[in-house]
Protein backbone atom coordinates (compact mmCIF):
# COMPACT_ATOMS: atom_id res chain seq x y z
CA UNK A 1 0.00 0.00 0.00
CA UNK A 2 1.40 3.36 -0.99
CA UNK A 3 0.65 6.71 0.60
CA UNK A 4 0.56 10.23 -0.81
CA UNK A 5 3.71 12.24 0.07
CA UNK A 6 1.64 15.47 0.20
CA UNK A 7 -1.35 14.57 2.40
CA UNK A 8 -0.74 10.99 3.61
CA UNK A 9 -3.88 9.48 2.01
CA UNK A 10 -3.82 6.09 0.30
CA UNK A 11 -2.80 6.34 -3.34
CA UNK A 12 -5.12 4.76 -5.91
CA UNK A 13 -4.14 3.12 -9.18
CA UNK A 14 -5.67 3.96 -12.57
CA UNK A 15 -4.77 3.53 -16.24
CA UNK A 16 -4.21 6.80 -18.07
CA UNK A 17 -3.31 6.68 -21.77
CA UNK A 18 -1.98 3.14 -21.42
CA UNK A 19 0.23 3.94 -18.42
CA UNK A 20 -0.38 3.09 -14.79
CA UNK A 21 -0.72 6.19 -12.62
CA UNK A 22 -0.94 6.47 -8.85
CA UNK A 23 -3.23 9.35 -7.89
CA UNK A 24 -4.63 11.03 -4.80
CA UNK A 25 -7.69 13.18 -4.20
CA UNK A 26 -5.42 16.10 -3.24
CA UNK A 27 -4.16 16.29 -6.83
CA UNK A 28 -0.89 14.34 -6.53
CA UNK A 29 -0.08 12.06 -9.51
CA UNK A 30 2.82 9.70 -10.07
CA UNK A 31 3.56 7.39 -13.01
CA UNK A 32 4.30 3.86 -11.85
CA UNK A 33 7.72 2.56 -12.87
CA UNK A 34 7.43 -1.05 -14.03
CA UNK A 35 10.74 -1.98 -12.38
CA UNK A 36 9.82 -0.47 -8.99
CA UNK A 37 6.17 -1.44 -8.78
CA UNK A 38 5.01 -3.10 -5.57
CA UNK A 39 1.42 -3.35 -6.79
CA UNK A 40 1.65 -6.75 -8.44
CA UNK A 41 2.01 -9.87 -6.29
CA UNK A 42 5.51 -11.31 -6.18
CA UNK A 43 6.53 -14.90 -5.86
CA UNK A 44 8.57 -15.92 -2.85
CA UNK A 45 11.64 -16.58 -5.02
CA UNK A 46 11.75 -13.00 -6.37
CA UNK A 47 11.36 -11.32 -3.00
CA UNK A 48 14.65 -9.99 -1.68
CA UNK A 49 13.27 -8.96 1.72
CA UNK A 50 12.09 -11.55 4.22
CA UNK A 51 8.34 -11.59 4.76
CA UNK A 52 6.95 -10.88 8.20
CA UNK A 53 4.35 -13.21 9.63
CA UNK A 54 2.10 -12.62 12.57
CA UNK A 55 0.73 -15.43 14.65
CA UNK A 56 -2.30 -15.21 16.87
CA UNK A 57 -1.22 -16.59 20.20
CA UNK A 58 -4.61 -16.53 21.85
CA UNK A 59 -7.96 -15.47 20.40
CA UNK A 60 -9.42 -12.41 22.09
CA UNK A 61 -13.09 -12.52 23.00
CA UNK A 62 -14.78 -9.13 22.97
CA UNK A 63 -18.26 -10.17 24.10
CA UNK A 64 -19.40 -9.96 27.74
CA UNK A 65 -19.75 -13.08 29.90
CA UNK A 66 -23.10 -14.12 31.36
CA UNK A 67 -24.47 -17.08 33.27
CA UNK A 68 -25.86 -19.60 30.78
CA UNK A 69 -25.84 -23.40 30.76
CA UNK A 70 -24.01 -25.05 27.86
CA UNK A 71 -25.89 -28.05 26.46
CA UNK A 72 -22.70 -29.84 25.40
CA UNK A 73 -20.29 -29.58 28.34
CA UNK A 74 -22.47 -28.26 31.18
CA UNK A 75 -20.38 -25.14 31.75
CA UNK A 76 -22.33 -22.33 33.39
CA UNK A 77 -20.55 -19.34 31.72
CA UNK A 78 -20.92 -18.12 28.14
CA UNK A 79 -20.18 -15.11 25.98
CA UNK A 80 -23.28 -13.22 24.87
CA UNK A 81 -24.31 -11.03 21.92
CA UNK A 82 -27.49 -10.10 20.06
CA UNK A 83 -28.24 -9.74 16.38
CA UNK A 84 -31.33 -8.77 14.38
CA UNK A 85 -31.91 -11.88 12.25
CA UNK A 86 -35.59 -11.42 11.42
CA UNK A 87 -37.72 -8.45 10.42
CA UNK A 88 -37.45 -5.25 12.41
CA UNK A 89 -40.81 -5.65 14.14
CA UNK A 90 -39.70 -8.94 15.76
CA UNK A 91 -37.28 -9.23 18.70
CA UNK A 92 -33.56 -9.79 18.14
CA UNK A 93 -31.89 -13.19 18.45
CA UNK A 94 -29.56 -13.81 21.41
CA UNK A 95 -26.41 -15.82 20.74
CA UNK A 96 -24.28 -17.59 23.35
CA UNK A 97 -20.79 -19.11 23.07
CA UNK A 98 -19.52 -21.43 25.79
CA UNK A 99 -16.27 -20.18 27.33
CA UNK A 100 -15.05 -23.75 27.83
CA UNK A 101 -15.91 -25.69 24.63
CA UNK A 102 -16.78 -22.77 22.27
CA UNK A 103 -20.18 -24.29 21.38
CA UNK A 104 -22.50 -21.62 19.95
CA UNK A 105 -26.27 -21.67 20.39
CA UNK A 106 -29.07 -19.19 19.91
CA UNK A 107 -32.12 -18.23 21.87
CA UNK A 108 -35.19 -16.64 20.33
CA UNK A 109 -37.27 -14.25 22.42
Where are the chain's structural domains?
A: 1-36, 65-108
Give the active site residue among 61, 90, 92, 107: 90
Question: Which whole-number Å values give the CA distances from 104 to 26, 44, 53, 76, 99, in the listed order?
Answer: 47, 39, 30, 13, 10
What CATH number has the domain spanning 65-108? 2.20.25.10
The predicted model scores a pTM of 0.47
Catalytic residue check, 90: yes
- CA atoms within 13 A of residue 5's CA, in its CB half-sphere: 4
Give the active site residue among 40, 45, 67, 89: 89
Question: Which whole-number Å values give the CA distances from 69 to 61, 62, 72, 98, 100, in the listed order?
Answer: 18, 20, 9, 8, 11
Q: What is the pLDDT of residue 37?
A: 47
pLDDT tens, per residue, the chain with 109 residues:
678 888 888 888 888 777 888 888 888 888 776 544 454 444 555 555 667 777 767 777 788 999 999 999 999 999 999 999 888 898 999 999 999 999 999 998 7
Catalytic residue check, 45: no
Amino acid sequence: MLFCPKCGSILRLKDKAGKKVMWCSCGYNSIVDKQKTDLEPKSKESSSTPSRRMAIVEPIEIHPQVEANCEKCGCKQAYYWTQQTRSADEPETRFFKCIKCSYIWREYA
